[in-house]
């Protein structure tokens, strides 16, 4: 796969995009939805050829892309996977995405992958460690990346920092951007009992370059309940409210609506992105 | 408190084995119990790996049913850990695992169905290739022909089974309307290849299979032809070669020393 000379990565304005999934390829080409950009999971294009690339190349011709990694395991104490880095670099050179992001989590240890976004303790040690991996990733790609706050279902006793202090520390040390997932802030605030607005006030405002929105699910347990970041439904009202607050505080930013399982028809996703777009529009109107 | 490395090792151990409780003291209980919190991750991890395995092995899933598949997947995940951050890489050993999985012993064709599905998955995602450059091939002197080492299309996979796995596979596709019963005595050799959009299946005779298998293992043309002739005295090298170059099965060559 060679760099596509016809493409250059243009910055994405403050608009709303949607996740691109295989089930929607045909509909995207036929309906040409008016969304600001498409975000793909980078690993879905790690294959060297075939259908996924055939569609992505056609879609890239008309839309900006964001490459969102789920498998690099930045927070792992294992070294970063060289083949994974090399393939990511190749894809980015080829498709010239406007945004590239990964998660503030880990998914492997001792060469064994659990393929999930696992939580880190909010400590100086963990922040320094993952920041070093973010720096390696940025050096390898020759560009700035964004790191995303993840949903957590447990906290560690020895976490001395708040989550936002941890995210800020990583971004500061590695000099990277932040992908602020509003749903994850909401889920963690509910699950761990902090004020989501305090997170928004605490996050390093000038580093946030993209926002994510998604639906979550409440799981009941004996003795309590917990919110799970399932990406399988519409964004709930409380998360839309938090998003309005975030846009007000951080300014309008490229925003993605994620939907990864129990996928609806494409127009439902476009409709969700439309809600985000109108919130961004209102914010611009207020500023103007 | 454990360092980050130790914490990750304890976490992985605790997720994979509920009896392993070394990391529990590091977890804040806060409403739910520590075990309930770990269980959420355990559930997410096993579910996503199982779904990935189902996505690459839909026919195995259909043949054994959801309950059996989840049970087999759970055992597979424990014995053959995922080794990549790309979930598409997970499941290469599912076929050999099933062959040695006692509960599946009554379905002797199941491992070969799994193998077919994995080869299909590989062919589906493999690289594109331009057709072989005939002019370049014509320029090779006749005396050097036996030293030619051909490459199969990157999206070509060879498979042989004593069971009719292709018919089983086809009968279990969503768009299949045939309800013919399948005789299990009816095996054969197949080439799976994605030359354009879709993965196609090409029936191969035993000799053609051996010939292509040799080329796929980097044997030079002379050795591959010899193997074919030992199976079939009237093996027509020129026409077989012309066919596999012409239909895009062979896409490149080099000269061995």
A17-57 pLDDT tens trace: 999 999 999 999 999 999 999 999 999 999 999 999 999 99
Helices and strands (H and E) in chain A: how many: 9, 12
Residue B165: predicted pLDDT: 93
Spatial CA neighbour of A101 closest among A26, A161, A184, A27: A184
Task: Indicate if the pLDDT at residue A5 is higher than 80.
Answer: no
Per the rule left: phi > 0, alpha: psi between -120 and 50, beta: everything else, A73 is left
| Dihedral sign (CA A26, A27, A32, A35) | negative
pLDDT for B179: 65
Q: Which residue ranges form the domains of chain B, and what is each CATH number?
A: 1-125 (no CATH), 128-257 (3.90.930)
Give the pLDDT confidence score for residue B180 in this predicted structure.
67
Return the structure tokens found at B151: 């490459």
Torsions phi, psi for B168 (to 5 deg): -60, -45
pLDDT (mean) for A205-222: 94
Q: How many Å separate Cα A147 from the centre of its chain?
A: 7
Q: What pLDDT sits at residue A72?
A: 98
How far is residue A173's CA from residue B22's CA, in Å, rounded to a whole number? 31
Instruction: Decide if pLDDT at A153 tops 90.
Output: yes
pLDDT, mean over chain A: 96
Residue A157 in this model has a pLDDT that exceeds 80: yes
In chain B, how many H helices and how many E strands? 11, 5
What is the model's pLDDT at position B175? Answer: 81
Q: Residue A1: closest CA among chain B residues belongs to which residue?
A: B127
Q: What is the C-alpha to C-alpha distance for residues B75 and A189, in angstroms, rounded to an integer?
A: 36
Query: Tens digits of per-residue pLDDT, B130-170?
Result: 999 999 999 999 999 999 999 999 999 999 999 999 999 99
Q: Note whether B33 and A153 are within 8 A (CB).
A: no
In the predicted model, residues of chain B with pLDDT beneath 50 are: none
The length of chain A, given as a count of residues: 288
**% of residues, chain A, pLDDT over 90:** 92
Question: A84, B26: Cβ pair inside 8 Å?
Answer: no
CA B82 to chain centre: 15
3-state helix, strand, coil in chain B (%, to 5): 55, 10, 35
Q: Kindly report which listed range (A2-11, A94-103, A143-152, B174-183) carries the lowest average pLDDT score.
A: B174-183
CA distance A49 to chain B (A): 4
The confidence score (pLDDT) of residue B29 equals 83
Per-window interface: A 222-241 vs B, CB < 8 A: 222-224, 226, 228
Calculate how close chain A gets to B180, using CA atoms only, in Å.
Answer: 31
- Mean pLDDT, residues A147-163 taken together: 96
Q: Give A287's pLDDT tier (boundaries 50, 70, 90).
A: confident
Structural domains in chain A plus CATH codes: 16-287 (3.20.20.150)
| pLDDT tens, position by position, B24-48 | 889 988 888 899 999 999 999 999 9
A118 touches chain B (CB under 8 A): yes
The predicted pLDDT at position B11 comes to 96
CB A151 within 8 A of CB A188: yes
The answer to whether A55 contacts chain B (CB < 8 Å) is: no
Instruction: Pick the residue of A153, A190, A217 with the most B CBs within 10 A to test the interface with B by mutation.
Output: A153
């Amino acid at each position: 796969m060679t760099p596509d000379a016809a493409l250059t990565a243009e910055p994405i304005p403050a608009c709303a995009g949607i996740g691109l999934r295989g089930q929607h390829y045909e509909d995207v080409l036929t309906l040409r939805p008016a969304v600001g950009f498409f975000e793909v999971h980078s690993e879905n294009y790690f294959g060297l050829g075939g259908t996924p690339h055939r569609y992505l190349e056609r879609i890239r011709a008309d839309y900006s892309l964001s490459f969102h990694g789920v498998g690099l395991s930045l927070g792992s104490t294992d070294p970063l996977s060289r083949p994974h880095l090399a393939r990511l670099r190749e894809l980015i050179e080829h498709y010239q995405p406007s945004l590239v992001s990964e998660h503030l989590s880990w998914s492997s240890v001792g060469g064994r992958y659990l393929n999930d976004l696992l939580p880190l303790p909010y400590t100086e040690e963990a922040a320094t460690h993952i920041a070093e991996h973010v720096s390696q990733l940025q050096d390898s790609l020759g560009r700035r990346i964004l790191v995303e706050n993840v949903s957590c279902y447990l906290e560690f006793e020895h976490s001395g920092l708040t989550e936002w202090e941890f995210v800020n520390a990583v971004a500061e040390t590695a000099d990277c951007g932040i992908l602020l997932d509003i749903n994850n802030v909401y889920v963690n605030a509910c699950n761990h009992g902090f004020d989501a607005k305090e997170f928004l006030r605490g996050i390093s405002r000038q580093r946030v370059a993209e926002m994510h929105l998604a639906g979550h699910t409440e799981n009941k347990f004996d003795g309590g309940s917990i919110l799970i970041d399932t990406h399988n439904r519409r964004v709930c009202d409380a998360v839309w409210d938090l998003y309005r607050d975030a846009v007000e505080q951080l300014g309008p930013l490229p925003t993605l609506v994620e939907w990864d399982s129990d996928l609806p028809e494409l127009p439902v996703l476009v409709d969700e992105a439309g809600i985000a777009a109108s919130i961004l529009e209102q914010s611009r109107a207020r500023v103007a | 408190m454990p360092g980050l490395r130790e914490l990750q090792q304890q976490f992985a151990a605790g997720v994979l084995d509920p009896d392993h409780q070394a990391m529990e003291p590091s977890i804040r209980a806060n409403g739910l119990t520590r075990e309930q919190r770990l269980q959420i991750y355990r559930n997410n991890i096993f579910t996503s790996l199982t779904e990935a395995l189902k996505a690459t092995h839909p026919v195995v899933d259909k043949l054994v049913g959801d309950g059996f598949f989840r049970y087999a997947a759970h055992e597979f995940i424990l014995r053959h850990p995922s080794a990549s951050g790309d979930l598409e890489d997970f499941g290469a050993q599912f076929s050999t695992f099933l062959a040695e999985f006692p509960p599946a012993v009554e379905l002797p064709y199941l491992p070969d169905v799994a193998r077919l599905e994995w080869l299909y998955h590989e062919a589906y995602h493999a690289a594109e290739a331009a057709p072989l450059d005939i002019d370049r091939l014509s320029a090779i002197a006749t005396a050097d022909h036996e030293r030619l080492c051909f490459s199969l299309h990157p999206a070509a996979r060879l498979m042989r089974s004593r069971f009719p796995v292709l018919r089983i596979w086809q009968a279990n596709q969503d768009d299949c309307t045939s309800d013919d019963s399948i005789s299990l005595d009816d095996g054969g050799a197949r080439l799976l290849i994605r030359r354009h959009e879709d993965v196609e299946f090409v029936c191969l005779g035993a000799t053609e299979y051996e010939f292509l298998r040799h080329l796929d293992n980097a044997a030079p043309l002379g050795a591959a032809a010899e193997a074919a002739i030992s199976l079939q005295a009237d093996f027509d090298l020129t026409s077989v070669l012309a066919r596999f170059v012409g239909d895009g099965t062979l896409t490149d060559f080099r000269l061995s020393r």
